Structure 1
Amino acid sequence: MLKNKIVVITGASSGIGLLTARLLSREGAVPILVARSRDKLEEASGSIAGKHEIREMDVTRDDQVKQAMQDILQAHGKIDILLNNAGFGKFQNAVDMPPEEFQRMMDVNYMGTVRCTKAVLPHMLERRSGHIVNVASMAGKIGTAKSTAYTATKHAVLGFSNALRQELRESGIKVSTVNPGPIDTPFFDIADPSGGYVSHVEWLMMKPEHVASKIVQLMKTGREELNLPLKAAAAMRLYQLFPRLSDKLTYRMMNKK
């Protein structure tokens, strides 16, 4: 089902992006790994046995995003799937975090998704085919202390994705979101350098291989939303039904950063 599909993956030099690229390569797809660091991309490339490509690109640069997507389209004639995975987080109280950090996080996590999506959308509309998969987060649905900036970016990604799905409902293009909880990846090297938060959520933390396999499965099925892990997905549904009560009951448990 994924054989010979051209799949562009942002933030693909490590973590979920790289693992997803490996799995896609085994499925016969052609993953195109995109990230800012050429050195990291070349190192990542060495771990993928099947056909693939690497492209250096910064999702915060309009010119680089447009040029990279144009180059891919010229080389392959199509982009079947776009996985918007690039992003980072930093946990800090709102009163202490400089506005520049809010802006930088929004520029990467949200506007990076918007830039990449807009760069491929005209092509997908012309073909009346394509799949846009946006990696959001459980944080986009449940806000917790010290994650005001990160939560806002992922909430924006969810809003963008849900509205875009409605716009494209009759176009032949699918839009999916992936909302994972904590994952054991280098994400926390920046988000939680002290390791304090990680020590409190180890019981909930998922293996990145598991999340990557679920993303590949979603690409096959076209599922509109994937919440991980399942126990967290159930908690999110309860939170959305009773948000204020849930805040009061889970305040101490959820605010461990």
Structure 2
Amino acid sequence: MTDTNHVGNHKLAFISGGGGAIACEIAIQLDKAGYHLLLSDINLEKMTSIVSKLKRKPELFVCDQTNPNEIQSLIETIKEKYPNIDVLINNAGYTKEGPFITQTDTDIQRQLWINLISPIKLIHGILPLMLKRGKGSIVSIVSVGGIIALADSSIYSAGKFGLRGFLTALYEEVKHTNIKISGIYPSAVDTPMLLHEALNGGTALNWINKVQSPKKVADAVLLGIKRGTLEIYVPYSDGLVSRLVAVFPWLIGTLSPILKWIGERSKRKWLAEKGIQIPTKTNLE
């Protein structure tokens, strides 16, 4: 058993999906703020690449967030070695683009586990530690996809809609304690996952507005840790539009043709800035 005193007087923050671009920015900012970090990811190599960017060496945990046994093992380790955890950040996310009818059982299970079930299980395991200490912050990166449901992202939307509902209810349950609950709602973020969507049939609606940097999301996470605001939008303007569409969901279908045209044009420009050209219909004809 590791002595919890080895982290000194530093606060403890756990980040799932710890090898990703957004996690890297969050880790850098928390490291500068004096936190000792616990990172988990299915890919050890990706997490290891972040270590050199930090002042303090983080603790790394390999965990498949579609595997309930591995999730529970991670929770038990945190309970045993890091009971004084201050911050839990649910950052891991996954999407498999395409029509619902083409999704396999594995596709469905993977998206629901990573986007909904595993964040809930991690909170269920770690929240009691925070309640016992009388303080703590829980921040989950949800996505505007948890407010607006788009074609070809039905399972992703189901998971993110569910996570938003869960966080809203949990916020009400603990609002009279010193536990802060925040959900972060970014639109498209410049990550490898977005690039994969761009090159593999992801909806052009992701590119209607300016693609956000991972740092902007990390800034929102730190704001959530500090203030405990239930919903933080990145950018704020997207929150206004998305909530309007949530009230009138038929708007997306009505405006879809022109929105897709705008998004497709923006997507091509975004890819071109990365040195990637994709053929237009004219080129294919």
TM-score by length of 1: 0.89
| Residues 71-80 or 148-157, more deviating | 71-80
Deviation at 1:77, TM superposition (A): 3.5
| Residues 175-184 or 163-172, more deviating | 163-172
Contact 1:12/1:41, CA 8 A, preserved across alignment: yes
Supply the RMSD in Å over aligned alpha carbons: 2.3
Contact 2:51/2:57, CA 8 A, preserved across alignment: no
Contact 1:178/1:226, CA 8 A, preserved across alignment: yes
Read off the aligned partner of 1:10 and give its amino acid letter: S
User: Structure 1 residue 146 and structure 2 residue 152: aligned?
Assistant: yes
Q: 2:114 aligns with which of 99, 108, 112?
A: 108
Alignment-derived partner of residue 170 in structure 2? 164
User: Structure 1 residue 247 and structure 2 residue 252: aligned?
Assistant: yes
> Higher RCO, 1 or 2 (CA under 8 Å, sep at least 6)?
1
**Cα distance change on mapping 1:199 and 1:139 into 2, 3 Å:** closer
Alignment-derived partner of residue 219 in structure 2? 213
Read off the aligned partner of 2:144 and give its amino acid letter: M
User: What is the correspondence of 1:65-214 to structure 2 with a 5 Å cutoff?
Assistant: 65-194=71-200, 197=203, 201=207, 203-214=209-220
Q: Which runs of 5+ in 2 are unaligned?
A: 1-8, 265-285
Q: Which runs of 5+ in 1 are unaligned?
A: none
Work out the CA distance in 2 between the residues paired with 1:232 and 1:250.
16
Work out the CA distance in 1 between the residues paired with 2:104 and 2:73.
32
Structure ID, larger Rg: 2
Work out the CA distance in 2 between the residues paired with 1:198 and 1:99.
25
Contact 2:138/2:225, CA 8 A, preserved across alignment: no
- Partner of 1:20, secondary structure, is helix
Contact 1:80/1:129, CA 8 A, preserved across alignment: yes
Deviation at 1:249, TM superposition (A): 3.8
**Cα distance change on mapping 1:186 and 1:4 into 2, 3 Å:** same
Identity %: 26
Deviation at 1:203, TM superposition (A): 4.4
- Partner of 2:232, secondary structure, is strand
The count of aligned residue pairs is 254
TM-score by length of 2: 0.81
Map Cα deviations across residues 105-134 of structure 1 (whole Å, 9 max, x no partner).
Answer: 101111111121111122122222221111
| Residues 70-79 or 216-225, more deviating | 70-79
Work out the CA distance in 1 between the residues paired with 2:51 and 2:204.
29
| Residues 76-85 or 191-200, more deviating | 191-200
Contact 1:45/1:54, CA 8 A, preserved across alignment: no
Contact 2:98/2:201, CA 8 A, preserved across alignment: no
Spell out structure 1 runs of 4+ moving beyond 6 A.
none
Read off the aligned partner of 1:247 and give its amino acid letter: I
User: What is the correspondence of 1:9-28 to structure 2 with a 5 Å cutoff?
Assistant: 9-28=15-34
